[in-house]
Structure 1
Amino acid sequence: MDHLLILPLILPLLGGLLMLLPPLSKSRVRQRNFALGLASAMILISILLVVEARPGEIIVYHLGNWAPPFGIALVGDRLSTLLVLLTSVLAFCSLLYTFGPSEEEGSFFQPLMQFQLLGINGAFLTGDIFNLFVFFEVLLIASYGLLMFGGGKRRTRAGLHYVILNLAGSAVFLFALGILYGTLGTLNIADMARQVQLVDPADLPLVKAGGLMLLIVFGLKAAILPLQFWLPAAYSAAAPAVAALFAIMTKVGIYAILRVFTVVFGDSAGDLSGLAGPWLWWLSLLTLTIGGIGVLAAKDMRRLVAHLIIISVGTLLAGIGLEREAATSAALYYLIHTTLVSAGLFLLADLIGRQRGKAGDRLIAARPMHQGKWLSILYLIGALAVIGMPPLSGFVGKALLMKSALAVSEMQWFWPVLLISSLVALIKLSRAGSNLFWHITGEKPVVTPVDRAQLTAVILLLSTPVLMSLFGGPLTELTDATAQQLHDVPGQIGGVLRTSLAEGSN
């Protein structure tokens, strides 16, 4: 169990390398089977990590046996292990979908998926900001290749915009790291939380500048207004399995905001406390608004789901911007819900598009679907969940977020914007469902049976709103405990730096 925390990095790294070598490189079937086996093992490992972190112990893995803040450390607490488990479940369903007959992939597709998982898991588990930058680059390089897999003008254009924006974001990230290291003398997150309490007043403007530059970088990853315009084009152009896995990508940026601006620039940061709060609050409301406008303007189902992700980003950031435990807990519950449902809807859009002939997933009248009855049921479940209709998990998550915003100044802004965005989603998804399943041209359906593996992947993802409602009590207890641990900054500092602190006291 001592080395359990590093396995979410070792497995995809070695798995991706092995897929590049014979005999796995010579057979896509072998690659798929091997990748799905790795995903199954990752789910088991993630469950063990969640169980180990649930009592409240912070697991610290010292690479090279160098104690933080001087060495590289992986940190597994309730938040990071929970998100690694979420990533593992999402990866399993995305990889299962690649077993379908029409999936666009080459010999490098599965290795790139593994390197993508390496970057995502590393971003969740790293204990310092420099290695967060490193893992950002790993997942971004893999995503560049995955986004443009299969070629085509649409994917190339979306990929070019995506690459240019993220290269600019990486440059800003490096500038921020240089400023913060020069003023605080450390990039370990827990040690930074300790050093900001002791920062020289003359260095406060520099530290604030570095922190706000980090907010810009993380906001780009999370697709906050005005940095959200890359997401609809990129997500709607990607291959279905890639788009489903990309549902966790914005959550990496949201996780980074939550971790850094709660622990480092949280309530105990003195003059630097609440650095991002005012920015996040208003930007989240504007992001919700622009997401609703995008939903109304969407002309195909994939772009519609992409704009629904922007609405979810605004909803999550509003919870983070409230800067209290109850709101963080509600945001974590909603984060799990929206990630899995959005991924399921991306996959469902592909199944629907392949049964509508040349019309694809465009929201226009087309020939009837060969298996329209079952696809319509899945669409109904996904639509009700993402809108937030009771008793599904979307309703629970939004209700918890609204409950956490009880101050008059918060209610008068957040409640109307959130409810109106949900109404907009209800109207658009109703019209989209009508166009997809009721407005037909009268022609015979194209006989394209849905692959069982792909249908299973969609069912697994779209069953989660029901399961999250049925097990809402234990899940909210876990998110409450996770939020409490995250906001306990002295506990975070002591849990990560306990070895070096003990040595310093001797």
Structure 2
Amino acid sequence: MVNLMGSVSILPALTPYLLVFGAFTLVFFKVFKAGKVFSRIYAFAYVFASLIFSLLTYLSVKDSGILYYELGGFPPPIGITYVVDEFSAFLAVIATGLGLLLYPLIPVLQPQSDEYYLALYLGLLAGFTGVLYTGDLFNMFVMMEVMLVSTYGLVALGGSKQSYRSAFDYAMVAGVGGLLFFMGAVLIYFATGTLNIGHMGLIEQGFAACGRGLSQNPVEALQTLSLLLFWGLVVDEALVPLHFWLPPAYSSTGPVTASLLAGVSEGVAYYALTRIVYTVLNGLNPVLEYSLRILGIASIIVGGLGALYSRSFSKTISYTVVMDSGYVAIALSLGPPGVEVALAYILAHAVVKPLLFLTAGWVRSSYGTDVFENVEGSLRSSRILQAGLIVGAAAVTGLPPTIFFIAKLGVYVNLFNSLNADVTVPLALFTSLAGSLLALTAFIKAVSAMILAPPREGLKLVPKALKTYLLLLTALTIVLGVVYAFSIEPLISSASNSITAGRIDYLSEISGILYCESGSL
């Protein structure tokens, strides 16, 4: 076992389980009436620790390479391993960083939140980090279920009939997706004799003796069964046609919850797909490539039209999440160059979507609704709220100098460079450009209703904490776009290369533990 920076090697395994422990103890605090203040401080310690652990893990990986840990000391294929490269470590910093950033707003925007809410919040972060750090397909499924169960609860705690129904709808469709992923994992185990991701990659590489499965052609089995894993992840990626749960779920829950889910959840699902594609399969096969591109095109159209015809602000934002998920899918369909674009898109999502959902959340808390015809002129009294809407809208539309402009430009450039491929590429390019126009039209409607319409009474004073957050996120949306080429692009390029060009390093880490009669890497 490789031990980097001493005890740092255990942090990828420790982080999700520590968060789960914190979640369970919070439930006991609720039973024994420890009090909200104590519980919030207690939960904050776990959220803060998760970010510190993620940062230490990322710095360790940057300094010394892949981080490897065997849970309980059992090697693969029997034991569960945690294998972290720069790609997964970078995403974990985004997930835990956003979790910590949003946490202080819980008592401000969702004051009714109790220990049950905080436990689910920790559970969601545990699911995020567990999926990102694990090197085992079954453990990835378990951590995805932790993430999804936490999401159901957080959405349901919105407290309205729509939030209950949205949580139920999501649970039903995600249950089917989880079943598909689980079936794919089980069949892969029978075919190859392993659930370790790196071990599967070795088998695909030709080290068939590493596997003890039933299939006579394990490489073909991996290529075929990966389609079950893909369709199991489509629900969590909110791609058409399995997107319908997202707009009502995100628009009916609290603004902090919606911000965290919209900022990270789809990115974690795309990470799982990218890990399977590049570590196990050594790249896209034609079926996955065309499926991603076609579903991406459909998601941009449906998400753009949904945003255009939505009657409420939060619904408009929610449909842009579906639309932007389509852009990520199209980027990933273009092969290794698209991975860097997708990572930039995920980073942009983690900044811009919270900016918009926090703005919408304050409008809804002030008026009890964010339906445009009922909140006309609602932002006229606050320059900060106006800035949040305008800059967030400009970003989603893809206008410079925002971080979203960089991400969308990457999609356009890669599509343009691939025009000789087949007919789906120019269709994807046209749809991507049309999607930006749909987003622009949808947000013009929002700006017209809430900023340009005559002012009205009833908007509460914006708390200083929320003002600070909106100013910070507004500034980040612009600053990250301005400095991207100098400071952000090298980090994203290095992280994306670690999962594409760095596959051999990942497999070498596993081959050093396994005994393969066919040879060694």
Q: Normalised by the size of structure 1, how large is the TM-score?
A: 0.92
Alignment check: 8 A CA contact 1:123 1:136 kept: yes
Q: Among 436, 440, 447, which residue is 1:426 paired with?
A: 440
Seq. identity, %: 23
Q: Among 82, 92, 98, which residue is 2:106 paired with?
A: 98
Letter paired with 1:117: L
Alignment check: 8 A CA contact 1:365 1:439 kept: no
Alignment check: 8 A CA contact 2:109 2:362 kept: no
Alignment check: 8 A CA contact 2:222 2:281 kept: no
Q: Per-residue displacement from partner, 1:308-361 (whole Å, max 9, x unpaired)?
A: 11111111111111112x221121111111122112211110112233x25535
Q: Which runs of 5 or more residues in structure 1 are unaligned?
A: none
Report the number of matched residues: 498
Letter paired with 2:409: A
Work out whether 1:255 is the aligned partner of 2:271. yes
Alignment check: 8 A CA contact 2:299 2:322 kept: yes
Aligned ranges 1:284-303 → 2 under 5 Å = 284-303=296-315
Secondary structure of 2:68's partner?
Answer: strand
Secondary structure of 1:386's partner?
Answer: helix
Work out whether 1:483 is the aligned partner of 2:496. yes
The 1-side partners of 2:372 and 2:34 are apart by 36
The 2-side partners of 1:56 and 1:431 are apart by 50
Secondary structure of 1:436's partner?
Answer: helix
Letter paired with 1:420: A
Alignment check: 8 A CA contact 1:294 1:307 kept: yes
Give the superposition deviation at 1:371: 4.0
Letter paired with 1:337: A
Alignment check: 8 A CA contact 1:35 1:95 kept: no
Q: Among 431, 438, 458, which residue is 2:470 paired with?
A: 458
CA change 1:16–1:365 in 2 (3 A) is closer
Alignment check: 8 A CA contact 1:69 1:186 kept: yes
The 2-side partners of 1:399 and 1:251 are apart by 19
Work out whether 1:151 is the aligned partner of 2:159. yes
Alignment-derived partner of residue 91 in structure 2: 83
Give the superposition deviation at 1:77: 0.9
Alignment-derived partner of residue 405 in structure 2: 395
Q: Among 260, 273, 289, which residue is 1:277 paired with?
A: 289
Alignment-derived partner of residue 314 in structure 1: 326
Aligned ranges 1:370-389 → 2 under 5 Å = 371-389=381-399
RMSD of equivalent CA atoms: 2.5
Q: Among 236, 240, 265, which residue is 1:221 paired with?
A: 236
The 1-side partners of 2:430 and 2:168 are apart by 37
Give the superposition deviation at 1:152: 2.4
Work out whether 1:474 is the aligned partner of 2:512. no
Alignment check: 8 A CA contact 1:58 1:496 kept: no
The 2-side partners of 1:274 and 1:52 are apart by 36
Secondary structure of 1:3's partner?
Answer: helix
Q: Which runs of 5 or more residues in structure 2 are unaligned?
A: 1-7, 209-214
Q: Per-residue displacement from partner, 1:405-439 (whole Å, max 9, x unpaired)?
A: 30224652232211111111111111211101222
Q: Per-residue displacement from partner, 1:229-259 (whole Å, max 9, x unpaired)?
A: 1111111111211111111111221111111
Letter paired with 1:109: Y
Give the superposition deviation at 1:202: 5.2
Letter paired with 1:446: G
Letter paired with 1:177: A
Letter paired with 1:308: T
Work out whether 1:5 is the aligned partner of 2:12. yes
CA change 1:394–1:183 in 2 (3 A) is same
CA change 1:427–1:407 in 2 (3 A) is same
Secondary structure of 1:67's partner?
Answer: coil
Of 254-263 and 487-496, deviating more is 487-496
Of 48-57 and 198-207, deviating more is 198-207
Work out whether 1:236 is the aligned partner of 2:251. yes
Q: Per-residue displacement from partner, 1:439-460 (whole Å, max 9, x unpaired)?
A: 23x54x2252222333333333
CA change 1:342–1:62 in 2 (3 A) is same
CA change 1:189–1:204 in 2 (3 A) is closer
Q: Per-residue displacement from partner, 1:186-226 (whole Å, max 9, x unpaired)?
A: 11111111113446665666544421111100111101111
Q: Normalised by the size of structure 2, how large is the TM-score?
A: 0.89
Q: Per-residue displacement from partner, 1:50-94 (whole Å, max 9, x unpaired)?
A: 221124611011111122333111111111111111111211232
The 2-side partners of 1:447 and 1:408 are apart by 50
Secondary structure of 1:122's partner?
Answer: helix
The 1-side partners of 2:73 and 2:219 are apart by 33
The 2-side partners of 1:59 and 1:101 are apart by 38
CA change 1:431–1:51 in 2 (3 A) is same
The 1-side partners of 2:295 and 2:67 are apart by 34
Letter paired with 1:262: Y
The 2-side partners of 1:203 and 1:77 are apart by 26
Of 26-35 and 376-385, deviating more is 26-35
Secondary structure of 2:487's partner?
Answer: helix
Alignment-derived partner of residue 14 in structure 1: 21
Alignment check: 8 A CA contact 1:352 1:361 kept: no
Aligned ranges 1:345-356 → 2 under 5 Å = 345-355=356-366
Alignment check: 8 A CA contact 1:388 1:398 kept: yes
Alignment-derived partner of residue 332 in structure 1: 343
The 1-side partners of 2:29 and 2:446 are apart by 46
Letter paired with 2:239: I
Q: Per-residue displacement from partner, 1:156-181 (whole Å, max 9, x unpaired)?
A: 11111111111122222221112111
Work out whether 1:174 is the aligned partner of 2:187. no
Letter paired with 1:388: G
Work out whether 1:38 is the aligned partner of 2:51. no
The 1-side partners of 2:58 and 2:126 are apart by 18
The 2-side partners of 1:165 and 1:101 are apart by 29
CA change 1:282–1:475 in 2 (3 A) is same
Work out whether 1:69 is the aligned partner of 2:85. no
Of 76-85 and 169-178, deviating more is 169-178
Alignment check: 8 A CA contact 2:355 2:388 kept: no
